[in-house]
Amino acid sequence: MNPSFLQRRRLLALLPIATALLAACGQRTPKARPIAAGSTVLALGDSLTSGVGADAATAYPAVLQELTGWQMVNGGVSGDTTAQALARLPALLETHRPQLVIVGIGGNDFLRQMSAAAARDNIRAICRAATDSGAQVMLVAVPQFSLLAAGTGRLTDHPFYAELAGELNLPLYEAGWAEVLGNARLRSDQIHANAQGYRQFAEGLAQQMRKAGLLA
């Protein structure tokens, strides 16, 4: 058979795949809807959300309320794992009816060397439950915590947060906690921020929200 004929057949066979790829590249991820001042926003998390190492007035949700004008609900419980946050989420959604849920959980799973796969599944379920309630979701990446890593200041986000953000088409705030907790001047102890650290985190989060379209 003529080699040039075979080449043409291969090219024709690949044409539908190439067309689909080009179409996908041309699609843009839709921007989030802006959250109006005065809207209720839930921050779901653990001690980094509740503000351990500082106080309620300087925890990041309080600072974020100051920066945005939103009515922030601090849904942080010290020591919470992803499974515990998932279990108490329905009551929080029912009580507060938030327009936006900020999901920043997972550090205690990592510190206790619990299953990363289970943590990922729990966070996926949290995000889907929030979305099903009508809220938008902002996912916050959490470092791969260990006391050794925190002590050396070499913290990096667990990769599954970026994977989940892509899978669920969610805006993601990356490296916020890694930068704060990797800097001894911004920590109250090895795994918690101080007031200055919580403010830096909140300011970075607000900036990322503007980029995502959640904050005008």
What are the CA-CA distances from residue 28 to residues 25, 166, 210 (Å)?
8, 13, 17
Cβ atoms within 10 Å of 36's Cβ, excluding its own: 11
What are the CA-CA distances from residue 191 to residues 54, 80, 110, 143 (Å)?
13, 14, 12, 10
For every residue of 132-151, which 3-state class applies, written as one string? HCCCEEEEECCECCCHHHHH
Catalytic residues: 47, 189, 192
What single-letter DSSP state applies at residue 60? H
What are the CA-CA distances from residue 87 to residues 42, 51, 83, 123, 129 (Å)?
15, 21, 6, 11, 11
CB 104, CB 67: distance < 8 Å? no
